Chains A and B, each alone.
Chain A
Amino acid sequence: MSDRRPYSATIDRVAVPGGEDLVCRSCGHGLGSADAVWKEVARLDERPLCEAGGSVFEATDPKLLLRRFYCPGCGAALDTETALEGEPFLVDRVRG
């Protein structure tokens, strides 16, 4: 759709009164205001990388988490990050 602009390779921005919302590129499901943190409304699968990544990750730090963020509408993978327990989400902002 022409009124969409990319936020990332998987998420678009759409203009709404007073600002922009983020939506899943695959299914259009809303991910909240562009001023909020979309990762907080995504489906989060968070578990130790040593259990989630396969045998090549077996020796990684048990406190290191693989965070996978999925679209609540269609289940598409929107982003991933690795984080030690207690780390805040990596937050990206796209404007203009």
Chain B
Amino acid sequence: MDPMTFSIIRHRLFRIVDEAVITLKHVSGSAITNEGHDLMVSLYRADGSLLMGGVGFLHHLTSAAEACKSIIRRFEGRIREGDIYLLNDPYTAALHTSDIYLVAPIHHDGELVAWSACFVHVYDIGAMNPGGFSPQSPDIFTEGFSSPGIKIVDRGEMVDDVLDTMLNMVRSPEMVTLDLRSMIACNNVARERMQALIGKYGAETVDAAGSELIRQSEDLFRARLRELPDGEWQSRQYLDVDGETAVVRLTMTKTGDRLAFDFTGSSPQSRYAINCTRWASLGGLFAPLFPLLCYDITWNEGVIRPVEMIAPEGSIVNCTRPAPVSVATVAAIQSVNNAACATIGKMLAASDTYRAQATAVWHANHFAIFKFGRNQKGGEAIGILTETFAGAGGARSFADGVEIGGEIPNPISRMANVETVEANFPIRYLFRKRMIDSGGPGEWRGGTGGEMAITPHKAPDGGIHYVISGKGARHPMSDGLAGGLPGAPNRYLWIKPGESSGEASGEASGEASGEDGGDERIPGAANPVSWGVFPLMGEDALYVRWNGGGGFGDPLARDPDRVAEDVRKGLVSRTAAEDIYAVALGDTGAVDRSATERLRSGRLAARLEGEQVS
């Protein structure tokens, strides 16, 4: 194929995905989609293999390929032009029930030539708890509507009986309808643009370009792997729920032009919904792999071929039915993201050529908090705190992490404006800001996370409730790299004015109870909460802190002027400047150079006096 035609087709495929994403956002009415960008659109070949991976949550690219393949197997011989299929069963291909895949065949002259697939986190899926994350569910049966594959559009006509059956099982069916319609519109745009492309260049040429694009990605990725050193790198991620700690263990082995991810040794599947299925783990490891190793390579089937995964059956990263998985995307899948990010970061750091691409772990711990209840307009509202998508950048070998800088698995994630949330929920923000000392210390500091507090305001029922799947508050998950420290962990506090501290008594238990330091900005008793459904009534406040990114390199090697600047900006405390970075600041906030030198040489000497193990 001539290179001009190839380049034009390649570029058109990118733009088709972009335009489909825009359609999805414009039609959807959910903050989680159009503010948080919890979405994905990709194109697949006729056999369901990934042709052009789009932006959004990258752990969906490979799972949606499996969704296409599963629909092909189930509906073979009955797939018609204009059909659209729904699949959201995690044991078939999806990540959790609320991330619904709509996959659509694309035909040309009656022949199936490609697929488009997209997902959004729908407004509700009818699980025990509103919003899709269902911490109280003991099994998949209580995690809402779940289908291994069903036709919802038949040759361009809505299959109303099927749609109505599904909508009969969810809260706020009108919002779920809008979610589904946004995905139908998205697939329609993808199909029309693909058909236009094929109309112009011919099916054979477009398919040959797709083949070539996949071959090119595979060649480029294998060449990159050959440039990196062979070796094995390990990481682990702790996940605590309600006093129980699970662990995801990873050994990543790179041999020649192949990469293997082995999760042997990870915890057995949990009774809590933090588990994930095999397809979810595979997607989870690709989410950091695409941007960190294939930043200049088209994300398609060619990148998948050199990669192998071992995930023991019955473990937290390959659970068996009917284990609950509704919290997977922010639990085991995210831990797989983090563990893969850590091992890939170490492999890149072991190469002089690629060290600048290495990164400490970014925002490693989502908090799924769904507010629900009657709002100031009298309607029932459900919505996620989109601050979970705000993130924090990991530090690199030459730069600090970006403050509240997003996350690796979703290059376009972001949070909603405070005003957008206050317009739809009967709450007020007391504050929302960058969190001091949350960025992992290092020669290069991890980006800070944030902190926020909300309280009821003009609520017809005196307040609202929220579902929290706040695992991970007891272990930092954003690992540092090359001697850098981890970013600070999450924290969730229910502040009750005029009460003494103690265990939070929601419908589910809170995390380990006890006195908590509290916060002078919000007077009252501070009670840690983490898992279940809790009220936010009267003058209650909910305080949430989200994690910072990991640091890179030795904190004692950080330029003291950078530390002083961080203190000036309120990103690092004077205490941490002295205790962690060994930087002495004068009354004006400027670096006291001789005192700093004394502090640092004293710290180095103390390190050398330490005990030697073995």
Residues of A within 8 A of B397 (CB): 9
Residues 38-88 (chain A) with a chain B CB within 8 angstroms: 39-45, 49, 53-61, 64, 66, 68-70, 72, 74-84, 87
Contact of A91 with B by CB under 8 A: yes
Majority secondary structure of chain A interface residues (helix, strand, loop or mixed): mixed
By the criterion CB–CB under 8 Å, are B613 and A44 in contact? yes
**Contact between chains at B580 and A45 (CB < 8 Å):** no
Q: What's the Cα separation between A56 and B247 when bound, in Å?
A: 22
Which chain A residues in 17-45 approach chain B with CB under 8 Å? 39-45
Residue in B481, B489, B575 whose CB lies within 8 Å of A57: B489
Bound CA–CA A40/B481 (angstroms): 19
A84 vs B244: C-alpha distance in the bound complex, in angstroms? 13
Question: Do B613 and A92 touch (CB < 8 A)?
Answer: no
- Given contact pairs A9-B397, A60-B474, A94-B230, A80 touches B438 in the complex (Cβ within 8 A): no
Interface residues of B in 222-277 (CB under 8 A from A): 229-236, 238, 240, 245, 247
Q: Collect the chain B residues with CB atoms within 8 Å of residue A60's CB.
A: 474-476, 489
How near does chain A come to B501, taking the closest CB pair, in angstroms? 13
B151 contacts the other chain (CB 8 A):
no
Contact check, A92 vs B232: say whether CB atoms are below 8 A apart. Answer: yes
A50 to chain B, nearest CB (A): 9
Contact (A44, B580) CB under 8 Å given A56-B488, A84-B238? no
Which residue in chain A gives the minimum CB-CB distance to B556? A77
Chain B residues positioned under 8 Å from A58 (CB to CB): 517
Measured CB to CB, the closest approach of chain B to A44, in angstroms, equals 5
Could you mark each residue 590-614 of chain B with 1 if its beta carbon is under 8 Å from any beta carbon of chain A, else 0? 0000000000000111011011111
Number of residues from B at the complex interface, CB < 8 A: 64
Partner pick for A70 among B229, B485, B610, CB 8 A cutoff: B610
Q: Which of A10, A43, A74, A95 contacts B482 (CB 8 A)?
A: A10
CB distance A8 to B482 under 8 Å?
yes
How distant is the Cα of A55 from the Cα of B451 in the complex, in angstroms? 15
Tell me whether A80 and B488 are in contact in the complex, defined as CB-CB below 8 angstroms, given that A6-B351, A43-B610 are known contacts. Answer: no
Q: Are B486 and A82 in contact (CB under 8 A)?
A: yes
In the complex, the answer to whether B482 meets A64 with C-beta atoms within 8 Å is: no
Q: Which residue of B lies closest to A5 (CB)?
A: B229
> Which residues of B lie under 8 Å from residue A77 when comparing CB positions?
483, 553-557
| Residue B484 is within 8 A (CB to CB) of chain A in the complex | yes
Would you call B565 an interface residue if the criterion is a C-beta within 8 Å of the partner chain's C-beta atoms? no
By beta carbon, the residue of chain A nearest B487 is A56
**Which residues 462-486 of B sit at the A interface, judged by CB distance below 8 A?**
473-476, 479-486
Give the CA-CA distance A42 to B612 in the complex, in Å.
7
CA distance A92 to B391 in the complex (A): 28
Which residues from chain B contact A87 at a C-beta distance below 8 Å?
Answer: 236
Q: Say whether A40 contacts B235, CB under 8 Å.
A: no
Write the chain A residue with the least CB distance to B545. Answer: A56
A48 to B607, CA, bound (A): 17
Assuming the contacts A8-B349, A94-B229, asked whether A59 and B608 have C-beta atoms less than 8 A apart, the reply is no
Number of A-B contacts (CB under 8 A): 150
Contact A9 B553 (CB under 8 A): yes
B546 to chain A, nearest CB (A): 11
Docked complex Cα distance between A31 and B517 (Å): 43
In the complex, the answer to whether B352 meets A6 with C-beta atoms within 8 Å is: yes
Known A79-B483, A90-B235; judge A70-B608 contact (CB<8 A). Answer: yes
Q: How far is B604's CA from A45's CA once the two chains are assembled, in angstroms?
A: 12
Contacts of B607 in A (CB 8 A): 43, 45, 70, 75
Q: Is B414's CB within 8 Å of the partner chain A? A: no
What sequence of 0s and 1s flags, for each residue 485-510 of chain B, a beta carbon within 8 Å of any chain A beta carbon? 11011010000000000000000000
A37 to chain B, nearest CB (A): 8
CA distance A2 to B515 in the complex (A): 57
Chain B residues, Cβ within 8 Å of A45: 607, 610
A8 to B397, CA, bound (A): 12
Give the residue name and chain of the A residue nearest to B606 (CB).
A75
User: B612–A66 contact, CB under 8 A?
Assistant: no
| B346 lies within 8 A of A8 (CB) | yes
- Alpha-carbon separation in the docked complex, A49 to B473 (Å): 13
Chain A residues in 8 Å Cβ range of B579: 54
CA distance A77 to B557 in the complex (A): 9
List, in ascending order, chain B residues with CB within 8 A of A66's CB: 485
- Judged by a CB distance under 8 angstroms, whether B355 is at the interface is yes
B475 close to A64 (CB less than 8 A): yes
Chain B hits for A82, CB < 8 A: 238, 475-476, 479, 486
A70 to chain B: which residues have CB within 8 Å? 607-608, 610
Complex: A80 Cα to B484 Cα, angstroms: 7
A93 to B351, CA, bound (A): 13
- Report A-chain residues with C-beta under 8 Å of the C-beta of B557: 76-77
Inter-chain contacts of A8 with B (CB < 8 A): 346, 349-350, 482
Known: A9-B481, A64-B475. A84 touches B245 (CB 8 A): yes
A59 touches B605 (CB 8 A): no
**What residues of chain B lie closer than 8 Å to A83, measured between beta carbons?**
236
> Which residues of A have CB within 8 Å of B476?
49, 53, 57, 60, 82
What separation, in Å, do the CA atoms of A10 and B552 have in the docked complex?
11
CB nearest neighbor in B for A78: B483
Whether B482 lies near A9 (C-beta < 8 A) is yes
Q: Which residue of B lies closest to A36 (CB)?
A: B614
- What residues of chain A lie closer than 8 Å to B613, measured between beta carbons? 39-40, 44
Task: Evaluate contact between B240 and A61: CB separation under 8 angstroms.
Answer: yes
Contact partner of A59 (CB less than 8 A), chosen from B234, B351, B491, is B491
Nearest 10 A/B pairs, CB to CB: A77-B483, A9-B482, A56-B488, A77-B554, A75-B604, A94-B231, A75-B607, A40-B614, A96-B230, A9-B349
Question: Could you jot down 23 A-B contacts, CB within 8 Å?
Answer: A6-B355, A8-B346, A9-B349, A9-B358, A9-B481, A9-B482, A9-B553, A10-B482, A39-B613, A43-B610, A45-B610, A54-B575, A57-B476, A59-B474, A59-B516, A70-B610, A76-B554, A80-B485, A82-B475, A82-B476, A83-B236, A91-B232, A94-B350
Given contacts A9-B552, A72-B612, A94-B350, 15 further A-B contacts (CB under 8 A): A5-B229, A9-B355, A41-B612, A42-B612, A45-B610, A56-B435, A56-B438, A56-B489, A61-B474, A64-B238, A76-B483, A78-B483, A80-B480, A82-B486, A90-B236
